[in-house]
Structure 1
Amino acid sequence: MAEISQAGNDEGRPCLLCGSLEEPTVEHIIPQALWSRFGLDPDHDDLARFRTDLCLTHNQATSVLHQRSEMMDLIETGSPVTKKTLQHLGDWIVWITLLLSLARGRGVLGVEASRRLLLRRFDTHHAGTPKGVRVYAALVDDSVEPMDSEGTPYVLALKGDSRVLLNENGVPIGFSLREGPINASESIRLGRVVMLVGSSYSSGDDHDRRLDQAVARVGLKRIFPPEKTLPKMEPTPIRMAAISELFTVILHGADDSLMPEALRAFASRGEEPRDVAD
């Protein structure tokens, strides 16, 4: 059943996805049932940032994402960890992240790219996670204080970042002075689960393997694209600051080993981004 509420949108604010003023509703991006599992009031003012305005059609379409009870069990309790629940979790968090990013007007993929992907998913029912996105997760152990870990952040060239200049084959060749994302990844903790989402241009043949190794440094494991074998998800002390600081879009002072070769050469000369490709 769709989680629909007219309360809070009496003025008929436009739908976040299509702009329609017809049949306005309030969408709980994080489902009401999940907040209730945590003993929280879904309509509390403190949770307003997790709500947005959608038309009835898009509210009903997005609410289908929340109809996965075992996945909700995993978020709440840390189990069951199965191929199915991790697959559902990986898919769910991508679309939830896009909705949250669009609602706050900024995000890794940008407003227009996020809206385009969401409309493609919910208007055409084009199932599946967007190409190139990788999702990492961990079960959080709050009984142990996580160790402080200092490390140089990795700078990434994000897909969809208008500052990354591409040649006719879609290969990064330089930077521009345009505005772009301020974060290189999206991270969120819900219940017992912490998740990281991102999509970047390749730095070489083993880019994905090295990306996974970098994320493992802060205690997370890849859940999408799925491994051939089920990842061993054990409760782990997690420091959220370490996750949010792992990747950056700022060249200065960062490890550029996960950047495309042309951009590494660009950065190594200490050049500032400019309006034309190098």
Structure 2
Amino acid sequence: MAEVDQAPENGQRPCLLCGTLDDPTVEHIVPQALWKRFGLDPDHDDLARFRTDLCYQHNQATSALHQRPQMLDLIEKGTPVTKKTLQHLGDWAIWVTLLLSLARGSGVLGADASRKMLRGRFDKDSGGGTPKGFRVYAAGIDDTAEAAETDIKPYVLALRGDSRVLLRDDKPIGFSVQVGPINASEAIRLGKIALLVLGPTHESGDDHQARLDKAAAQVGLERIWPLNDALPALGPTQISMANVSRLFTVMPIGADHSLMPKVLQEMHARET
């Protein structure tokens, strides 16, 4: 009887970032300390999608993201809401969603772009830092009831790094139908916090960023990255994660085009 090949277990596959098989380790993308706060076993099979494989060097580099106890308090309990915890949470959310999307093979950015950003942060002597252009929105969760799912009209965005957006001198001039990113944003709920991470976008006008924030506010979210001087309250809010996850899209059909670059809005108007 022929033997059935089994997929390698975590810790036996190449590093997700650099591809080396040397010094393999299991990376808990959502930290073990957080799962334990929720009374969960970080190594349980049900949480396998939140684990990946990194070499020892990259595991050590990424582990610094999770060594922020007050940020973990904010996720678990909804407090403390301070400039420091919000900045840490916004930064953490970007890297966690990039790692998750790269591990599962789909996300806001393609694999090459995601890996380049991750290595730019975590490679030794790379300079590090949070990549420019990302926006992170959050809301405190009211556990007494979930907001009703509504038939919202999503906003279509032109993502930077999307191969379907045709450029000249870094300015959009058209849109193709070739394969590109699946999502414009990544939504995740952990503990008392709902998060939406939005990839870098081509602007639709001078007030583009403010209108992104206004769109996010429609589903109960406040911006935490980049952070304003006035801190968001993140008080308990009834949130529909279905509405949050559908708010922004890269698919133009059936969507609101007002946050697309003007030239792409005009192209869409001519076609319809």
Q: TM-score, normalised by structure 2?
A: 0.94
* Structure 2: gaps (5+ residues): 1-7
Contact 1:108 1:182 in 2 (8 A): yes
Paired position in structure 1 for 2:3: none
Tell me, what secondary structure is at the counterpart of 1:269?
helix
CA RMSD, Structure 1 to Structure 2 (Å):
1.4
Hey, what does 2:219 align to over in structure 1? 218
Q: Does 1:26 align with 2:21?
A: no
Matches within 5 A, 1:31-70: 31-70=31-70
Question: What residue is the counterpart of 1:80 in the other structure?
Answer: 80
* Residue identity opposite 2:66 in structure 1: H
Tell me the secondary structure at the aligned position of residue 237 of structure 2: coil
Q: Is the 8 A contact 1:155 1:249 kept in 2?
A: yes
Structure 1 SS opposite 2:87: helix
Instruction: Tell me how far apart the structure 2 counterparts of residues 103 and 248 of structure 1 sit (CA, whole Å).
Output: 21
Q: Conserved in 2, the CA contact under 8 Å of 1:25 and 1:53?
A: yes
CA deviations over 1:141-176 (Å, ceiling 9, x no partner): 011331333321111111111100110x20011012
> 1:120-269 to 2 correspondence within 5 Å?
120-123=120-123, 124-167=125-168, 169-198=169-198, 199-269=200-270
State percent identity of aligned pairs. Answer: 65
2:150 and 2:177 map into 1 onto residues whose CA distance is: 33
Q: Give, in angstroms, the shift of residue 125 of structure 1.
A: 4.9
Paired with 1:31 and 1:270, the residues of 2 have a C-alpha distance of 47
Say which SS state the counterpart of residue 19 (structure 1) adopts: coil
Structure 1: stretches of 5+ with no match in the other structure: 1-6, 272-278
Aligned letter for 1:90? G
The CA distance in 2 between the partners of 1:125 and 1:225, in whole Å, is 22
SS where residue 52 of structure 2 aligns? strand
Residues 235 and 43 of structure 1, relative CA distance in 2, 3 Å threshold = same
Letter in 1 for 2:201: S
Aligned residue number for residue 117 of structure 2: 117
* Alignment partners' CA distance in 2, 1:269 and 1:104: 37
Please say if residues 91 and 128 of structure 1, whose CA atoms lie closer than 8 Å, have aligned partners that are also in contact.
no
Q: Which stretch of structure 1 is more off in the superposition, 147-156 or 217-226?
A: 147-156
Deviates more, 1:120-129 or 1:90-99: 120-129
SS in 2 for 1:201: coil
Classify the secondary structure of the residue corresponding to 2:259: coil
Asked if structure 2 preserves the Cα contact closer than 8 Å seen for 1:8 and 1:26, the reply is no
CA contact (8 A) 1:137 1:222 kept: yes
Measure the CA separation in 1 of the matches of 2:100 and 2:177.
Answer: 26
- CA–CA separation in structure 1 for the residues paired with 2:232 and 2:10: 42
- Alpha-carbon offset, residue 33 of structure 1: 0.7
Q: Does the CA-based 8 Å contact 2:163-2:179 persist in structure 1? A: yes
* Helix, strand or coil at the partner of 1:266: helix
- Corresponding letter in the other structure for 1:138: A
What SS class does the counterpart of residue 163 from structure 2 fall into?
A: coil
Structure 2 CA distance, aligned partners of 1:194 and 1:222?
12
Count of residues in Structure 1 that have an aligned counterpart in Structure 2 = 263
CA distance in 2, matches of 1:190, 1:254: 28
